[in-house]
């Protein structure tokens, strides 16, 4: 039997219902702050991600689904949404609009990672991007909006970590300092950290090795090396979060898997999730638009994984299925009348279904009960129908034409 590809999953109706809640809350919470929906194509020119996300990142090195379009162009299934939104911002001349331009999306993304709980090869993200504002208020607003969304969806045991990466220049300087420090302590470091000192010195902060951990306690921290402007920007973000009553931890070792970040970075995690604990994260990316050949434009944003939100959320009661009217047949030859009655009922705003499986009348009533039908209209002969109230069990004969008005009237009285 053919199965869904490894790392992918079907969204069955019950799960689609829960996702609808995530979408409705995102629309409500982000809409109230002026964010408007955007959707970009599922695939883009490979170069957009190579440049935008960064050649050296795991995403670009190992995780992209890249293919040739048959005409010699290299395309890639989007692994993330920030670079595509920036591409769209430039392509549609959005810098002529009032700034910042606030956009949000709920789309599927693709990464060829090893699948495990909370990590898939096709997954969904809700994302928000504010392009054209340098203000620390923008970062703080975005962080609070994500906190509100996680809360509204019922995500439990969340923790917010916050840091600042400063500018690329101060970061490069700091990197050299950190490398020199690590080389000085080479013999106290774990093998895998030692071999990657020059390639990725920041990874040393993530090591679980006790010797490395001891060394890293005294390592220079990027947060202590920020330019005065960056330090002030970061202090302001923190003050705003304090005012908003949002709790966070400063994590000088917070590393994100994408190269475009500058200044503020943050990540929400949940203890409910185990190994893949990141629910959502983001930060400022002041250099990205320029990297994509646009004018220098500050920007900030985040994305949160829908599957991880739902895994970390309280189990929601299933939304009750509701059917106003089931149209049953006393005899099969009433089917044209039944068909028309169901259509008319839907046009009148009722949820209506009709018999489609050739069941006996007894079978049809059982079925109507199972799908939770409020009323059943049994089509009889000569334009007469029996209208049964499934809650009270009462029934009476009426004209087929009167079925809908009667139900509407009864519903108005309730
Ligand atoms: P990211 O941290 O790579 O950031 O992904 C954001 C969220 O997407 C993660 O926290 C996680 O919940 C979810 N996610 C990532 N990979 C997977 C996967 N393989 N399976 C399931 N869920 C996953 C970004 O993508 C940036 N574009 C966020 C951003 C927006 N930064 C600025 N603006």
Strand partners, 37: 104
Q: Which of 9, 87, 281, 302 to mutate to test the pocket of ligand 1 (most atoms within 8 A of CB)?
A: 281
Asked which of 10-19, 90-99, 137-146, 311-320 is least confident by mean pLDDT, the reply is: 311-320
Q: Which of 125, 163, 291, 311 to mutate to test the pocket of ligand 1 (most atoms within 8 A of CB)?
A: 125
Q: Strand 352-354 and strand 101-110: pairing?
A: unpaired
115: buried, middle or exposed (CB in 10 Å: 19+, 13-18, 0-12)?
Answer: middle
Residue 202: band (very low, low, confident or very high) from pLDDT cuts 50, 70, 90: confident
- Interatomic CA distance for residues 378 and 384, integer angstroms: 9
E-strand stretches of 11-139: 36-37, 43-45, 66-68, 74-77, 101-110, 122-131
pTM for the model: 0.92
Q: Whose CA is nearest to atom 9 of ligand 1?
A: 280
Mean pLDDT to the nearest integer, 103-121: 97
- Tell me the average pLDDT of the chain: 95
242-265 confidence digits (pLDDT tens):
999 999 999 988 878 899 999 999
Distance from residue 176's CA to the centre of ligand 1 (Å): 29
Q: Whose CA is nearest to atom 17 of ligand 1?
A: 119
Q: Strand 122-131 and strand 101-110: pairing?
A: antiparallel
29-48 confidence digits (pLDDT tens):
999 999 999 999 999 999 99
Does residue 390 have a pLDDT over 70? yes
- Interatomic CA distance for residues 206 and 274, integer angstroms: 16
- Interatomic CA distance for residues 253 and 67, integer angstroms: 35
Say what the pLDDT of residue 319 is. 67
DSSP string, 266-332: EEEEEGGGTTS-EEEEEEE-TTHHHHTTS----EEEEEEEHHHHHHTBPPPPPPPP-EEEEEEESSG
Between 318 and 23, whose confidence is greater? 23
327-340 confidence digits (pLDDT tens):
999 988 889 999 99
Question: Is the shortest distance between the CB of 129 and ligand 1 below 6 Å?
Answer: yes
Distance from residue 279's CA to the centre of ligand 1 (Å): 8
Q: Whose CA is nearest to atom 25 of ligand 1?
A: 80
Does residue 317 have a pLDDT over 80? no
- Interatomic CA distance for residues 148 and 160, integer angstroms: 13
Reported as type and span, the H/E element at residue 159 is: strand 158-164
- Interatomic CA distance for residues 325 and 313, integer angstroms: 34
Say which DSSP state 202 is in: G
Burial of 20-52, coded b for 16+ CB within 10 Å and e otherwise, reads: ebbeebbeebbeeeebeebebeebbebebbbbb
Residues ≥6 apart with Cβ < 8 Å to 187: none
Between 386 and 277, whose confidence is greater? 386
354-371 confidence digits (pLDDT tens):
999 999 999 999 999 999
């Amino acid at each position: 039997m053919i199965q869904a590809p490894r790392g992918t999953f079907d969204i069955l109706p019950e799960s689609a219902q829960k996702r609808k809640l995530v979408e409705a809350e995102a629309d409500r919470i982000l809409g109230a702050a002026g964010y408007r929906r955007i959707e970009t194509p599922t695939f883009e020119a490979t170069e957009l991600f190579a440049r935008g996300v960064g050649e050296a990142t795991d995403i670009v090195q190992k995780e992209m689904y890249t293919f040739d379009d048959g005409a010699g162009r290299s395309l890639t299934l989007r692994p993330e949404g920030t670079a595509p939104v920036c591409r769209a911002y430039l392509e549609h001349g959005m810098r002529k609009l009032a700034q910042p331009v606030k956009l949000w999306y709920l789309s599927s993304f693709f990464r060829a990672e090893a699948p495990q709980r909370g990590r898939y090869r096709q997954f969904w993200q809700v994302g928000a991007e504010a392009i054209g504002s340098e203000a620390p208020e923008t970062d703080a607003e975005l962080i609070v909006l994500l906190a509100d969304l996680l809360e509204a969806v019922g995500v439990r045991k969340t923790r917010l970590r916050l840091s600042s990466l400063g500018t690329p220049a101060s970061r490069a300087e700091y990197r050299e300092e950190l490398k020199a420090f690590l080389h000085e302590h080479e013999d106290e470091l774990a093998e895998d950290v030692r071999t990657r000192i020059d390639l990725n010195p920041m990874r040393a902060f993530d090591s679980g090795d006790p010797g490395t951990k001891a060394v890293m306690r005294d390592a220079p921290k990027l947060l202590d090396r920020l330019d005065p402007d960056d330090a002030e920007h970061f202090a302001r973000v923190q003050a705003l979060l304090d005012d908003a009553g949002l709790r966070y931890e400063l994590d000088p070792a917070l590393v994100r898997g994408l190269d475009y970040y500058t200044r503020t970075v943050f990540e929400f995690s949940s203890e409910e999730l185990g190994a893949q604990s990141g629910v959502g994260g983001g930060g400022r990316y002041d250099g990205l638009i320029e990297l994509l050949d646009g004018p220098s434009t500050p920007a900030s944003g985040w994305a949160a994984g829908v599957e991880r939100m739902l895994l970390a959320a309280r189990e929601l009661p299933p939304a009750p299925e509701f059917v106003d009217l089931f149209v049953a047949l006393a005899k099969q030859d009433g089917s044209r009348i039944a068909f028309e009655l169901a259509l008319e009922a839907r046009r009148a705003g009722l949820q209506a279904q009709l018999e489609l499986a050739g069941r006996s009348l007894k079978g049809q009533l059982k079925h109507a009960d199972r799908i939770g039908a409020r009323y059943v209209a049994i089509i009889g002969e000569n334009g007469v129908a029996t209208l049964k109230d499934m809650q009270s069990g009462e029934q009476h004969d009426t004209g087929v034409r009167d079925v809908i008005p009667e139900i509407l009237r009864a519903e108005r009285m309730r």
